[in-house]
Each structure stands twice: as structure tokens, then as C-alpha cells.
Copies of this chain bind each other. A is one copy, B any other.
Amino acid sequence: MRRRVISMAVVSSMECVKSVRGVILDMCGVLYDSGEGGGQPIHGSVQAVKRLMDSGLIVRFCTNETQNTREKFVQKLQRMGFDISVSHVFSPAPALIRILRERGLQPHLLVHDDLLPEFDGVDRSSANCVVIGDAAENFSYQNLNEAFRVLIGLEKPLLFSLGRGRYYKETDGLKLDVGVFMKALEYACDIEAEVVGKPAPGFFQSVLSDMNLQPHEVVMIGDDLVNDVGGAQFCGMKGVQVRTGKFRPSDENHPSVKADACADNLAAAVDAILTHHQ
């Protein structure tokens, strides 16, 4: 009963998405919860994604996942039952590689071993920048010193960070995310990193450009209030937060970011969007 009341409230507050023509979905915490064996789909999400794609709305996926190549990551989601194609998934590494190519940069990498295949074919013979991703166990003192020495040896230290997350939850507890090590290296070198991934506006804009839609025509659905909702709103999109994944009740009183609407989960958000979409 309580569930139904909340759902009605969502439908009502979702009027903000009336003229929406496209939806961007965050993945971890919205589609699935990470954990042992790669994680579990969130109840109702597989069906919700299918309904959204069948509705005629343009749908894209946007993740800060950097512990896997995009291909391996999408395969994992497909095994969970999501009918998603690689070309519709936007993740930081391919976006970064475009930037490196455009600017003629050669990276020193401090990333997860499983992300390395993304960089096949990227010249790394003479590093003139440092790239950090969610390197997990690779964030050793030795590897951090090595990345630091490359940076401090450059005339103008240049650091790219694949996201700026603080931490995430795995089955064996909370884990520090890439943003924490970005801050560490920023302080060590007295520089500011360039963030590739959410909430960087350039990253969202590349998704909008692929959808061929204007920001006001698109809604972003995520569990991370600052990086998903706030990042999308900064670009002119609507931002809807789901109460799954890393959602915390205190998000609803955040000092600077307020979601356009909240929903219990992706299924409820999709219900509400499709109610308004004729």
C-alpha cells in the first residue's frame, strides 16, 4: 500500500519530464548492484529498460565504470538480462582516449589491470600526462609515487581522472574510489585534474550529441545525487534520483543539489515517464 502511494507521488512530480524525448541511464546502482560474481540486477530494472527502449524514447547508458573495458562491462550486463549494445554505453576510458588523440598526448596509466586493453594502440612510449582510473589494489604507495614522479617531472603536470567518486560499496565493505587519489595527486603537485566521466559537462554533452537531442529534451536517471543528477542539471537536463544503489536519505536535504524528482527505483521512474510519454 505504502509503495503504491509513493508511486503515485512520483507520477505527479514527474510532470517535469513531460516533453522528454530521451533518457540517459546510470548503470551501477540503477540497473544492478555490484557484488560477488559481478553483481545482481535490481528488481524490475531489466523489464524497465526494455519498456523504455520499446517506447520510442531515445535511450543511452552512462557509467563511470573503469574496472573493465566497455565491452566486458556490457557483456556482464547482457548476462544479467539487459538488452544493451556497446555503442549505446558511454564510459570514461573511450572518451579519454579521444581526448588523448585530439591533443597528441601519451599517458602514464594508473588504472585497473582489466581496463588496460582499452589502451591497446595508444602510444605510451614517452609519457606527457598521467591518467588515473578506479585502480583499486593498483593504488599502492609504489604506483602512486611513480605517477607522482611522472607528473612532477613535467613542465606543466597534467592529470586526467576517470571520474571523481569518493567511495563505493562492495560485498566486503566500502572501497575508496578514484576521486580520493585524484585529490591526493592534486595536492602533491599543486594542480587541478581534468575529470573525464560524470559529472564533467563534456562527457554528458558527448552523450547528448550522440542522441541528437537538446539538453531540455533529456532526463538523466541516477542514484548519485551529485555526479548523476547535479551533473545532468548543470548541462540543462532534468535529473531524477532513484532510491537504490548509493542513495542515502540525507540526499533529499543536500545543500546544493535538488533532484527534479525522486523514484523508489528504476521501474517506478519508468512507470512515471511512460505515463507522461504519449
A→B interface (CB under 8 Å): 136-142, 144-145, 148-149, 152, 166-167, 173-176, 179-181, 183-188, 190
CA distance A190 to B164 in the complex (A): 13
Using Cβ atoms and an 8 Å threshold, which residues of chain B touch A152? 167, 174
| Inter-subunit contact A180/B173 (CB<8 Å) | no
| Inter-subunit contact B136/A148 (CB<8 Å) | no
Using Cβ atoms and an 8 Å threshold, which residues of chain B touch A181? 184
| Inter-subunit contact B175/A145 (CB<8 Å) | yes
CA distance A185 to B183 in the complex (A): 9
Which of A139, A145, A184, A185: most chain B Cβ within 10 A?
A184
Using Cβ atoms and an 8 Å threshold, which residues of chain B touch A139? 141, 144
The main secondary structure of chain A at its interface with chain B is helix
Pairs A-B, 4 closest by C-beta atoms: A183-B187, A184-B184, A139-B141, A180-B184
Using Cβ atoms and an 8 Å threshold, which residues of chain B touch A176? 141, 144-145, 148, 184, 188
CA distance A173 to B145 in the complex (A): 9
CA distance A141 to B143 in the complex (A): 11
A226 to chain B, nearest CB (A): 11
A225 to chain B, nearest CB (A): 13
CA distance A174 to B149 in the complex (A): 7
A176 to chain B, nearest CB (A): 6
CA distance A179 to B180 in the complex (A): 13
Using Cβ atoms and an 8 Å threshold, which residues of chain B touch A141? 136-140, 176
Using Cβ atoms and an 8 Å threshold, which residues of chain B touch A183? 183-184, 186-187
Using Cβ atoms and an 8 Å threshold, which residues of chain B touch A175? 145
A102 to chain B, nearest CB (A): 29
A112 to chain B, nearest CB (A): 11
CA distance A208 to B147 in the complex (A): 40
Using Cβ atoms and an 8 Å threshold, which residues of chain B touch A144? 139, 176, 180
Contacting residue for A180 out of B166, B174, B187, CB 8 A: B187
Using Cβ atoms and an 8 Å threshold, which residues of chain B touch A166? 187-188, 190
